[in-house]
Amino acid sequence: MNKQNNKNKIMEKYSIFIVLLIMIIICSMLNKNFLSTGNISNIMKQLAVATILAYGEMLLIISGMLDLSSGAVLAMAGVFSVSVYKSTGSLLVAFLVAILFGVICNLVNALMVTNFKTPPFIATLAMQMVARGIALLFTKGQNISQLGDYVVFGQGTIGPIPISIIFMAVITIIIWYILRHTRFGRSLYAIGGNEEAAIASGINVAKNKYVVFAINGILVGVAGVLFMSRVNAGLPNGAVGYEMEGLTAAIVGGTSFSGGVGTTLGTLAGAFIIGCLNNIMNLIGVDSYIQQIVKGVIIALAVIWDIHSKNKKTAKVILVEEKSEGK
Amino acid sequence: MEQEIKLRVSGIEKSFPGVKALSNIEFSVRKGTVHALCGENGAGKSTLMKIINGIYKPDKGQIFVDEKPVKIQSPIQARSYGIAMIAQELNYVPEMSVEENLFLGRLPVKKMGNVDWKLLRKKTEEFLKKEGLPYGASQKMKTLTVSDIQMLEIIKAISNDAQIIVMDEPTSAITQREVDTLFEKIAMLKEQGVSIIYISHKMDEVFQIADDITVLRDGAVVETHPASELDVDKVISLMVGRKMDNIYPKEPAQIGETLLEVKDLYSDGVFKDISFNVKKGEIIGFAGLVGAGRTEVMRAIFGLDSYTSGSIRKSGQEITIHKVADSIRNSIIMLSEDRRRYGIIPVRSVTENASIASLEKFIYGGYAHEKEERETVSQYFQKMNVKTPTMETAIQSLSGGNQQKVLLAKWMLRDPEILILDEPTRGIDVGAKYEIYKLMTEIAKDGKAVIMVSSELPELIGMCDRIYVMNQGKISGELKRSEFSQEAIMRFATGTR
């Protein structure tokens, strides 16, 4: 009956994937190497770190928060991991160390946000500075080189498939599962959608915030290992601004900055859109300054679109509110 | 005495979608008099005042100042006609200083357009000294007490050379001493020929200062008389005198043992000596004026706020409630008065909104049983007659009544024994109201206990088996069904025995 309406809904739900598809088509026309297996695998390898960070940002934004510290914590956890590997020779221990420090930093974030009521923006900004400082202090500002077998995380393959892509795929499935199939995931949407209503529904908001930060910490730790091993060095000054890459992917992928809305696959698509954009601009030789401008414009458009579609939806609610005020 | 008419409104009508807030209002204020406006919550007093102050535009009708027709389209314009309003809710910027707040929007500037701080300080200090207010010009607004702020607002309005001052519940937050000061000021203003429209629930105050009294009911003027021709009883009966329609589908239920018993519940500075009980199959009401502490009591019982002392027993067993999860575990639920703030999760679907408090029913064994969830929720929606385009529709695009029914469904999914419904029919249309009443009746017949907080007396009288009335944080009376009358409730609610 309401075909137009239905069509709009489908467009709204899948628009991000349609955008990605159109982009892939345009890219493949601009450069015939774009769709080659090598290039696609290349895009995905480059994307792995940003995508994993984007999932953490997505979970936080859905629940009404965000993390500005993930790039710095990534570097800190990364250099700790690298140096532990260099002294113990154990890949497992090195991997766990990265996760441990990622989680510790994020539990501090959670403490500030829930117990001390610090706005997440401020709390994680402070953590960004502290973590970067610790990374630089620990390495005395020097890069750690000669990582040996450590590079297997970022550069190795299992059969034909790069290990970093496997990490990305497995994490995608886990995050999708958490959001879609656990009570915790549902609670995050409720918390970000209306925290006070979540409390009044019996949801333990503080506990959930700790858990979501802890998950973010695990993701940042994994990203730290992948990043350092991909560049074959422990870079205390590495990954600057990577939290923005993550945030961008999440927002472009339809995660609403006002909380309560966002999907795993949307964020994945968002990451791919940015990855393809970077890749095609490199392939056809766009000036790197112009690349930044293009990326900035795309982010602005994504958010404008998000707010615009939300305004349409709330128009009706305002009427209802007026009504109750008039009573 | 025949003073000239200072302000007159004629034929004012105002509708909000689905609700007629004001119809054909005729109302006039004489120069140099205090005109009290009385009416129940929702009678239309605040809407009328907002029209006079230019916040709302009337659909029809005309306002006259000094018998000249005027069009008031904004509070600034209202000010230019000499109309000032002291709102019930205080508007101020807590982080700014007293002087900045006092001159907000009209800060003195120098030639270059920069603020003349020296002049501002001088003016403010003169003003504070003249009015004998005990605080400094540079003090931040948030360091002042509520009553200080209220006094400042009042004096600010007066100092603007206003000719007509609207005071909406001006004494709700100030002490008796300050009330006396305020009344002295009002007397002074009358001398100067200023007209005052005074809105208050406090009958003793109204009769202390009013020259004329107009009673509003259901958005219409009932009667206007000189105060000398009226008394408290007469005004109350005019306020509530609407005929009881048969819109309350109340059926007698089997009343069983006591389910919830609250004893001496006390919360410092909020409420005290709260003792009441509710039995199986019973619907009890909580009446009282806005700010009497009804919602606060219920929030404490539901674990949203903490309480200082007292006991809560369920079926004779003492229970402790620190957080919402505790009350839910004890099968107590609460539908909040503020649907937008504590109820809906606007951007999420109706299904998710309904299942959020019972996720363990649908997410088990390692994954979400979404089909089962949709089906169960939709059964409840059918029972509650929720009208929604799809099960995936975001709740924010439903009407208020349907939102409320979704939220009721959310709690019914848990099959609660004790339901606290705080203003369950606020802001929803008549049809949806009726459906909610019907559901309440069925719930009670099921042997559950219902506690309804409401500001609409007819609804309480129509639906409840017993009514507790609260006044200033205490239970001031309990009425059995045979003793119900709007007059009796209003007496307890206003504290005028």
A253 domain residue, yes or no: yes
DSSP 8-class letter at B66: T
Smallest Cβ–Cβ distance between B325 and the set A197, A202, A325 belongs to A202
- Backbone φ, ψ for residue A319 (5° rounding): -60, -45
Please name the residue that has the structure tokens 């009328």.
Answer: B48
- Cα(B412)–Cα(A175) distance, integer angstroms: 31
Kindly report the average pLDDT of chain B as a whole number: 87
Contact A260 B348 (CB under 8 A): yes
A74 domain residue, yes or no: yes
List the CATH number of the domain containing A51: 1.10.3470
Q: A148 is written with which tokens? A: 């040996």
Q: List beta partners, residue B318.
A: B313
pLDDT at B297: 95
Domain tally, chain A: 1
A324 domain residue, yes or no: no
A6 domain residue, yes or no: no
Measured between beta carbons, which residues in chain A are less than 8 angstroms from residue B21?
Answer: 326-327
A313 domain residue, yes or no: no
**Structural domain of residue A102, as residue ranges?**
36-290
Contact B304 A199 (CB under 8 A): yes
Contact B363 A260 (CB under 8 A): no
A12 domain residue, yes or no: no
Instruction: Decide: A255 and A193 in contact? Cβ < 8 Å.
Output: no
Please tell me which residue of chain A has the smallest CA distance to B408.
Answer: A201
- Cα(A91)–Cα(A108) distance, integer angstroms: 26
Q: One-letter amino acid identity for B458?
A: P
**Secondary structure class of B283 (helix, strand, coil):** strand
| pLDDT tens digits, one per residue of B169-211 | 887 767 777 788 888 888 988 898 899 999 887 777 889 999 9
- Cα(A204)–Cα(A182) distance, integer angstroms: 15
Q: B19 is written with which tokens? A: 């609700």
Alpha carbon of A276: minimum distance to chain B alpha carbons (Å): 30
CA B35 to the chain's CA centroid: 22
Q: List beta partners, residue B311.
A: B263
Predicted complex ipTM = 0.86
Residue B404's H or E segment, with its range, is helix B400-412
| pLDDT tens digits, one per residue of B27-61 | 999 999 999 998 876 678 888 988 998 888 899 99
Q: One-letter amino acid identity for A258?
A: S
SS (H, E, C) chain A: CCHHHHHHHHHHHHHHHHHHHHHHHHHHHHCCCCCCHHHHHHHHHHHHHHHHHHHHHHHHHHCCCCCCCHHHHHHHHHHHHHHHHHHHCCHHHHHHHHHHHHHHHHHHHHHHHHHCCCCHHHHHHHHHHHHHHHHHHHHCCCCECCCHHHHHHHHCEECCEEHHHHHHHHHHHHHHHHHHHCHHHHHHHHHHHCHHHHHHCCCCHHHHHHHHHHHHHHHHHHHHHHHHHHHCCECCCCCCCHHHHHHHHHHHCCCCCCCCCCCHHHHHHHHHHHHHHHHHHHHCCCCHHHHHHHHHHHHHHHHHHHHHHHHHHHHHHHHHHHHHHHC
- Cα(B98)–Cα(B312) distance, integer angstroms: 44
Q: A181 is written with which tokens? A: 């199939």
This prediction has a pTM of 0.76
Please tell me which residue of chain B has the smallest CA distance to A197.
Answer: B342
Please name the residue that has the structure tokens 């290990």.
Answer: A163
Alpha carbon of B326: minimum distance to chain A alpha carbons (Å): 8
Instruction: Decide: B384 and B409 in contact? Cβ < 8 Å.
Output: yes
| pLDDT tens digits, one per residue of B78-96 | 888 889 888 766 678 888 8
| pLDDT tens digits, one per residue of B421-469 | 999 987 676 667 888 998 999 999 999 999 999 988 888 999 999 999 9
Measured between beta carbons, which residues in chain A are less than 8 angstroms from residue B360?
Answer: 183
Q: A105 is written with which tokens? A: 């930093």
Cβ-based contacts under 8 A for chains A and B: 118
Q: Which of residues 291-310 of A touch B (CB under 8 A)?
A: 310
- Cα(A119)–Cα(A127) distance, integer angstroms: 12
Can you give the pLDDT of all 327 residues of chain A as single tens digits? 344 555 566 666 677 888 889 889 989 999 888 999 889 988 998 899 999 999 999 999 999 999 999 999 999 999 999 999 999 999 999 999 999 999 999 999 999 999 999 999 999 999 999 999 999 999 999 999 989 999 999 899 998 899 999 999 999 999 999 999 999 999 999 999 999 999 999 999 999 999 999 999 999 999 999 999 999 999 999 999 999 999 999 998 889 888 999 999 999 999 999 899 889 999 989 998 999 898 888 778 877 876 676 555 444 443 333 333 333
Contact B346 A316 (CB under 8 A): no
Largest CA distance in chain A: 73
Residues constituting chain A: 327
Measured between beta carbons, which residues in chain A are less than 8 angstroms from residue B352?
Answer: 186, 189-190
Instruction: Decide: A214 and A85 in contact? Cβ < 8 Å.
Output: no
- Cα(A129)–Cα(B419) distance, integer angstroms: 50
Please name the residue that has the structure tokens 């006591």.
Answer: B258
- Cα(B69)–Cα(B80) distance, integer angstroms: 14
Smallest Cβ–Cβ distance between B363 and the set A181, A317, A319 belongs to A181
Please tell me which residue of chain A has the smallest CA distance to B392.
Answer: A9
Measured between beta carbons, which residues in chain B are less than 8 angstroms from residue A189?
Answer: 345, 348, 352
- Cα(A245)–Cα(A296) distance, integer angstroms: 11
- Cα(B104)–Cα(B110) distance, integer angstroms: 16
Measured between beta carbons, which residues in chain A are less than 8 angstroms from residue B218?
Answer: none
Smallest Cβ–Cβ distance between A314 and the set B21, B363, B396 belongs to B396
Please tell me which residue of chain B has the smallest CA distance to A199.
Answer: B324
Alpha carbon of B410: minimum distance to chain A alpha carbons (Å): 9
Measured between beta carbons, which residues in chain A are less than 8 angstroms from residue B396?
Answer: 313-314, 316-317
Measured between beta carbons, which residues in chain A are less than 8 angstroms from residue B368?
Answer: 180-182, 186
Please tell me which residue of chain B has the smallest CA distance to A176.
Answer: B367
A202 domain residue, yes or no: yes
A238 domain residue, yes or no: yes
Q: Is A323 on the interface with B (CB under 8 A)?
A: yes
pLDDT score of B2 more than 60:
no
Q: B171 is written with which tokens? A: 């004494």
| pLDDT tens digits, one per residue of B472-491 | 899 999 999 999 988 899 88
What Å distances lie between residue B15 and B12, B219, B349, CA to CA? 10, 10, 30
